[in-house]
C-alpha cells in the first residue's frame, strides 16, 4: 500500500468550494474544509446530522431550571419565614429565577459545547491549514494514498482550485 | 459630505480585512490622551466613592423619602443601554436581518460594558457595599437565605445572567475574527490574539459546532433580553408606590431600553466610523435602519406615556393623580418636559429619509434621546418617591458633587472600556460582513446614490 499524502487546494469563492465538496463526497474521499465564513451548504453536504451541541444546550438548560427550583424551594423551606401571607414555596416568582438559570446554564453549555466538540483550545495548527483560510480564501485538504493523487488533483483543479500543494500526511 | 470620502463600492474579502485590521494598528498619542482623560474622570469618581464608603451615604443628596435617586437612575439607564446589543445581535440574527452585520459588534460590545457599568450602581448605592454578597444564595453560618419572592433578588439573577450570556455571546462571535487578526499580527498582539482565538482555524467541524452554538445562544438570549428589563421594571412595579405600581411597566421599560440602546449605538458608531475611517463598512444604509428602530420605539414609548397618564386620570385615585400632577407641573416638571421633547418630539424628525442618512443630524438626535431617557428614568424613580402618600413627607432631592461626579465617572468608565476594546479587538465583524458581502455592496451603491 502506498504512503498517504494530503492535497491542499485553495479556492477563492464558496460556489467552487461547494462544487468541489460535492465531487469529493461522491468519490468517497476523506477531506476537510477551511473557510473564513460559516458554510451552511458545505456543512450540510459533509454532515448528515446537525451538530451535537444542541444536546449540550438542552441538557444545560434543563439542569439550570431544575437547579433553580431546588435552590429556591430548598432555601425557602430551610428559612421558612411567611412574608405577605404568601406560601413558603411560592412557585410564580421562582419561575423567574428558573428561567434566568435555564438561560445561564444553557448559554454556558453552548459555549463549552462548541469549544470542546471542536477540539479547542489548541495551539497546534491542523494539517493543511494556511493563514489565508481564516481571511479571504477557502481551503480543501484531501487525504489519500500516494497513487490516488493524480485523480484527486485533477478533480480539485476541475472544481476551480487555484493553488494545489502536497503535504506528507 | 459622504461623497468626499473615497469609497470602494465593490469590496472584496481582502478589502474588508484591510479596513478592519487597520483599526487594530498601534494607536497614536491622541488616543492615549483620550484614554488618560477618561481614566482621570473614572479615578476621580472612584475617589469620591471611597469617600462615600468612609463617610456614609450622607455625602449624597439622598434622604427620606427619596432613597433611590441618581444611582438607581444610572443603574436602570445603563441596563437599558445594554439592551440594543442583544436585540441587534440575537433577535435580528434570528430574523436574518441583513443590516445588523455592520453594527452588531459595536452594539454587543456596548452591551457588555453597559451591563458592567450598570452592575456597579446597586453596589455603589449600598451604605455597606462590603455586604453585597449577601444577595448570593449560599450555605452560611447565619442560616439566612435571600427571599426569592423579592424582585431585587430576581434582578440579581437577571443582571448576572445577562452579563454572563452577553459576554459569552460577544466572545463566541469574536473568535473567528480574532483568528483572522492573529494571522496579520506580530509581537505581543500575535500571542494575545492566539490565546483569545483558542487556536481557531475555520475548519468545517469548528464552523459546524460554532454555528449551532451561535444559533441556540441567540435563541436563548432573545427571551433573556425581554426578561431582564421586565425584571428591572418589576423592581418598581411590584411596589405600591403611585407612579411605580403599574402593569404596563415591563413592555414600557423594554421599549425604552431598546430606544435608548440603539441611540447609544449611533452615539458611539457615528464618531467611530468617522475617526477610524469605517465609511465603507458601516454605510448610510446601516444608519438608516438603526434610525428606523429608534423611530419605532419612540412611538411605542410616546404611546406608553399617554396610556400611563390616561390610566391615572381614569382611576380617579387622588394620590395617583397628585403624583402625576407634580410630575408635570411640580418642581421637577421641567425634567418631564425635557423627557417628552427628547423622547417623543425630536425623534419624529426621523420620519424624514434625508435625516436618517445624515450622520451629523443622527448623532445629535441620538444624544438628545440619551438625555431624554436618562431623565425618564429619573422622573419615574426619584420623582415618584418624592411625592408619595403622605404630603408632609414630600421632599425633593438635590444632587451632591459625589453623585454628579460618580454619574460622569460611569460614562467615562464605559467610554474607556469601549475605546480600549475598539483598538485592541475587532470592533467590526469581518466574518459577518464577508458573509453578507453582496448586501454590503448593494448598501454602498444605494447609500452613495442617495448621498449624491
Mean of the per-residue pLDDT values of chain A: 90
Helices (H) and strands (E) in chain B — how many of each?
A: 19, 0
> Which of A59-73, B94-108, B263-277 is predicted with the least confidence, judged by mean pLDDT?
B94-108
Report whether pLDDT(B230) > 90. Answer: yes
The shortest CB-CB distance from B198 to any of A34, A115, A129 is to A115
Three-class SS state of B200: coil
Inter-chain residue contact A83 with B14, CB threshold 8 Å: no
The shortest CB-CB distance from B220 to any of A32, A86, A103 is to A103
- pTM of the entire structure? 0.92
Domain ranges of chain A: 4-50+131-168, 53-117
- CATH class for domain A4-50+131-168? alpha beta
Tens-place pLDDT, residues B109-137: 999 999 999 999 999 999 999 988 888 87
Contact residues for A26 (Cβ-Cβ < 8 A; gap 6+)? none
Contact residues for A157 (Cβ-Cβ < 8 A; gap 6+)? A9, A164
Distance of CA A107 to the CA centre of its chain: 15
Cβ–Cβ under 8 Å, residues B350 and B292: yes
Domain ranges of chain B: 2-164+222-451
Cβ–Cβ under 8 Å, residues B418 and B170: no
Contact residues for A143 (Cβ-Cβ < 8 A; gap 6+)? A4, A5, A6, A29, A30, A31, A32, A169
Report whether pLDDT(B6) > 90. Answer: no
Q: Which residue has the higher pLDDT, B203 or B1?
A: B203
Specify the pLDDT at position B232. Answer: 93
The shortest CB-CB distance from A51 to any of B212, B221, B224 is to B212
Inter-chain residue contact A97 with B207, CB threshold 8 Å: no
The shortest CB-CB distance from A97 to any of B13, B148, B217 is to B148
Min CA distance, A63 vs chain B (Å)?
Answer: 15
Q: Which residue has the higher pLDDT, B18 or B52?
A: B52
Inter-chain residue contact B217 with A107, CB threshold 8 Å: yes
List CB contacts (< 8 A) between B149 and chain A: 83-84, 86, 90, 93
Three-class SS state of A23: helix
Cβ–Cβ under 8 Å, residues B390 and B86: no
How far is the C-alpha of B135 from the C-alpha of A50, rounded, in Å?
40
3-state secondary structure labels for all residues of B65-78: CECCCHHHHHHHHH
State which residue of chain B sits closest to A39, comparing Cα positions.
B207
CB pairs under 8 A between A and B: 185
Mean of the per-residue pLDDT values of chain B: 90
Provide the β-strand partners of residue B356.
Answer: none
Min CA distance, B227 vs chain A (Å)?
Answer: 8
Specify the pLDDT at position A1. Answer: 61
Cβ–Cβ under 8 Å, residues B86 and B224: yes
Inter-chain residue contact A113 with B209, CB threshold 8 Å: yes
List CB contacts (< 8 A) between B250 and chain A: none
Q: How many CB atoms lie within 10 A of CB A64?
A: 23
Distance of CA B175 to the CA centre of its chain: 23
Amino acid at each position: 500500500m502506498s504512503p498517504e499524502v494530503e492535497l491542499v487546494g485553495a479556492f477563492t469563492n464558496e460556489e467552487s468550494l461547494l462544487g468541489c465538496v460535492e465531487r469529493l463526497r461522491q468519490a468517497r474521499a476523506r477531506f476537510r474544509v477551511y473557510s473564513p465564513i460559516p458554510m451552511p451548504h458545505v456543512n450540510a453536504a459533509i454532515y448528515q446530522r446537525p451538530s451535537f451541541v444542541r444536546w449540550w444546550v438542552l441538557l444545560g438548560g434543563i439542569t439550570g431550571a431544575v437547579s433553580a427550583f431546588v435552590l429556591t424551594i430548598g432555601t425557602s423551606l430551610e428559612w421558612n419565614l411567611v412574608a405577605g401571607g404568601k406560601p413558603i414555596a411560592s412557585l410564580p416568582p421562582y419561575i423567574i429565577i428558573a428561567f434566568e438559570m435555564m438561560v445561564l446554564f444553557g448559554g454556558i453549555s453552548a459555549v463549552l459545547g462548541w469549544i470542546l466538540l471542536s477540539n479547542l483550545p489548541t495551539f497546534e495548527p491542523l494539517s493543511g491549514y494556511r493563514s489565508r483560510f481564516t481571511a479571504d480564501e477557502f481551503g480543501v485538504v484531501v487525504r489519500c494514498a500516494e497513487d490516488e493523487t493524480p485523480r484527486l488533483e485533477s478533480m480539485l483543479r476541475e472544481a476551480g482550485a487555484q493553488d494545489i500543494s502536497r503535504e506528507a500526511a | 459630505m459622504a461623497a468626499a470620502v473615497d469609497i470602494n463600492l465593490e469590496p472584496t474579502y481582502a478589502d474588508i480585512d484591510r479596513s478592519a485590521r487597520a483599526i487594530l494598528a498601534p494607536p497614536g498619542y491622541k488616543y492615549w490622551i483620550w484614554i488618560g482623560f477618561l481614566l482621570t474622570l473614572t479615578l476621580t469618581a472612584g475617589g469620591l466613592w471611597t469617600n462615600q464608603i468612609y463617610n456614609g451615604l450622607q455625602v449624597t443628596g439622598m434622604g427620606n423619602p427619596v432613597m433611590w435617586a441618581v444611582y438607581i437612575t444610572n443603574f436602570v439607564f445603563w441596563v437599558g443601554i445594554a439592551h440594543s446589543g442583544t436585540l441587534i445581535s440575537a433577535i435580528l440574527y434570528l430574523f436574518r436581518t441583513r443590516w445588523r452585520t455592520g453594527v452588531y459588534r459595536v452594539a454587543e460590545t456596548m452591551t457588555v460594558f453597559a451591563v458592567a457599568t450598570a452592575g456597579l450602581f446597586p453596589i455603589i448605592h449600598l451604605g455597606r457595599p462590603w455586604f453585597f454578597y449577601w444577595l448570593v444564595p449560599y450555605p452560611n453560618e447565619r442560616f439566612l437565605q435571600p427571599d426569592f419572592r423579592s424582585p431585587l433578588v430576581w434582578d440579581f439573577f437577571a443582571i448576572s445572567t445577562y452579563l454572563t450570556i452577553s459576554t459569552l455571546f460577544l466572545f463566541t462571535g469574536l473568535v473567528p475574527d480574532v483568528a483572522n487578526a492573529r494571522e496579520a499580527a506580530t509581537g505581543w498582539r500575535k500571542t494575545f490574539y492566539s490565546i483569545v482565538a483558542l487556536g481557531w482555524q475555520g475548519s468545517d467541524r469548528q464552523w459546524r459546532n460554532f454555528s449551532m452554538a451561535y444559533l441556540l445562544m441567540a435563541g436563548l438570549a432573545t427571551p433573556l433580553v425581554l426578561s431582564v428589563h421586565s425584571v428591572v421594571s418589576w423592581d418598581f412595579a411590584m411596589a405600591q408606590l403611585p407612579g411605580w405600581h403599574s402593569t404596563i411597566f415591563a413592555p414600557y421599560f423594554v421599549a425604552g431600553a431598546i430606544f435608548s440602546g440603539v441611540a447609544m449605538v449611533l452615539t458611539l458608531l457615528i464618531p467611530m466610523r468617522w475617526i477610524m475611517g469605517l465609511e465603507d463598512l458601516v454605510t448610510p444604509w446601516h444608519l438608516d435602519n438603526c434610525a428606523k428602530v429608534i423611530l419605532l420605539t419612540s412611538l411605542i414609548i410616546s404611546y406608553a406615556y399617554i396610556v400611563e397618564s390616561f390610566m391615572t386620570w381614569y382611576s380617579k385615585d387622588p394620590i395617583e393623580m397628585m403624583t402625576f400632577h407634580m410630575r408635570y407641573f411640580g418642581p421637577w416638571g421641567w425634567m418631564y418636559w425635557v423627557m417628552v421633547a427628547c423622547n417623543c418630539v425630536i425623534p419624529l424628525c426621523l420620519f424624514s429619509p434625508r435625516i436618517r442618512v445624515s450622520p451629523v443630524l443622527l448623532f445629535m438626535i441620538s444624544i438628545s434621546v440619551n438625555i431624554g431617557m436618562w431623565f425618564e428614568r429619573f422622573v419615574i424613580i426619584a420623582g415618584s418617591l418624592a411625592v408619595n402618600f403622605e404630603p408632609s413627607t414630600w421632599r425633593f432631592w438635590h444632587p451632591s458633587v459625589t453623585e454628579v461626579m460618580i454619574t460622569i465617572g460611569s460614562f467615562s468608565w464605559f467610554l474607556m472600556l469601549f475605546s480600549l476594546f475598539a483598538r485592541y479587538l475587532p470592533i467590526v465583524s469581518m466574518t459577518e460582513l464577508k458573509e453578507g458581502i453582496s448586501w454590503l455592496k448593494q448598501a454602498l451603491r444605494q447609500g452613495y446614490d442617495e448621498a449624491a
